[in-house]
Structure 1
Amino acid sequence: MTYQLNAIRPYLYITAYSSLVEKSVDELGITHVIDATNNQISKDGRLAEIRCMQVDVDDLVDVDMRAFFESTADFIQEARDQGGKCLVFCNVGMSRSATLCIMYLVIHENLTLREAYSQVEKSRRIIAPNLGFWRQMIGYEKEKNDGNSTVEMIENAQGFMVPDVYLKKT
């Protein structure tokens, strides 16, 4: 699963950097790429003919990922509107890229955070945005919905706070 390009929508894909094979990208007709590796991998020549957006963030709980929610969602929507396809990747395709894909579905498809997580997780079973990103996604949904969110942080059996979607599968 880690080494696959996974389709969330016909125009939206998620993967890990290690899965970026020029042939696969070309065969899928990828026109836009969001590089969330913090290593500027998209500038290494493999993606020279593709429109790239760089998201320079580390996968750490105190990183402000929210600053990229709307700009990356708009970039994905631009690809869709132009009849193109967008590939979102980070190092493993679990946290940063998943967060950005989830938030695209929330922002441009008006899905709830719970629904968006479920859609992305069905396509790529290994997703696991870090807890800081979850807090930011929940905060975003609360701001847009009069203080309400469809996902909440709850304590798991080991006493750690986790998003309830990890324990209550929809």
Structure 2
Amino acid sequence: MFAELKKPFSDIKMRPKSNAKGLTSDTSKSKFYSICEIRPYLFIAGCMDVSHKKIRELRITHIVDAANISETQRTPNVQYLEVNINDDEREDIKKHFIEAAAFIKKAKESGGKALVYCAAGISRSASICIIYLAIEENMTIKDAYIEIEKVRPIICPNLGFWRQMINYEIEKRGETSVNLLNGMRRPIFYD
């Protein structure tokens, strides 16, 4: 397992078989071992789910690499944006919000497709996708989170990333749609 982390684009034979959308056919594992479609042009994954073959099959043209793993293989003819941060509450992910959203928007506007991945497709990539939807589709971070969680139920941005997304939303909207309670790993949404 640890050796496989050094080569995130290698095909792993023990993975469930993929269907045409790049999602796995085994529903019990499909949200963890898959590339999940948020929009027809926007996908989220963990780096172990990504292979050159899947990138080509899905016609991915742009990749936001937030895995922070050195020596990752690159797929030819794909544009990359590296977001070099660790999944740590003290990391400043906010400084990447605008650049990552613009990069994904560029993929969409050029008729391409963007994939955002981190080590497990849970925290860093989820935060970037949430903020993209907030910036480009004017969604609240609550609604963006709920929408992404529908296709990838394992998402769980760390508390530091949540605080930064909340601060960003307050700066842009004057209020936040999410409140964090002490000791909680996920926000609680009130209607």
TM-score computed with the length of structure 2 as normaliser? 0.80
What displacement does 1:2 show? 1.7
Partner in structure 1 of residue 170 of structure 2: 142
What displacement does 1:164 show? 2.9
Partner in structure 2 of residue 7 of structure 1: 37
> Percent same amino acid at aligned positions?
41
Partner in structure 1 of residue 142 of structure 2: 114
For residues 81 and 109 of structure 1, do their structure 2 counterparts lie closer, same or farther at Cα, with a shift above 3 Å needed? Answer: same
Q: Is the partner of 2:181 in helix, strand or coil?
A: strand
Q: Is the partner of 1:153 in helix, strand or coil?
A: coil
What displacement does 1:161 show? 4.1
Query: What amino acid is aligned across from residue 19 of structure 1 in structure 2?
Result: D
If asked which structure has higher relative contact order (CA below 8 Å, sep 6+), I would say: 1
Partner in structure 1 of residue 154 of structure 2: 126
Higher share in strand: 1
Q: Is the partner of 1:154 in helix, strand or coil?
A: coil
What displacement does 1:154 show? 1.6
Aligned positions of 1:24-103 closer than 5 A: 24-40=54-70, 42=72, 44-45=73-74, 47-103=75-131
Query: Which blocks of at least 5 consecutive residues in structure 1 are unaligned?
Result: none
What displacement does 1:48 show? 2.5
CA contact (8 A) 1:96 1:129 kept: yes
For residues 111 and 41 of structure 1, do their structure 2 counterparts lie closer, same or farther at Cα, with a shift above 3 Å needed? Answer: farther
Partner in structure 2 of residue 164 of structure 1: 187
Q: CA RMSD in A?
A: 1.5
Q: Is the partner of 2:102 in helix, strand or coil?
A: helix
Q: Equivalents in 1 of 2:122, 2:71: separation in Å?
A: 17
What displacement does 1:31 show? 0.2
Q: Which stretch shows the higher mean deviation, 19-28 or 33-42?
A: 33-42
Q: Equivalents in 1 of 2:145, 2:104: separation in Å?
A: 17
Q: Which stretch shows the higher mean deviation, 116-125 or 128-137?
A: 116-125
Query: What amino acid is aligned across from residue 176 of structure 2 in structure 1?
Result: S
Higher share in helix: 1
Aligned residues: 161
Q: Equivalents in 1 of 2:33, 2:83: separation in Å?
A: 21
Q: Is the partner of 1:141 in helix, strand or coil?
A: helix
Deviations 1:120-155 (A, max 9, x none): 111101000000000000000001122x10001124
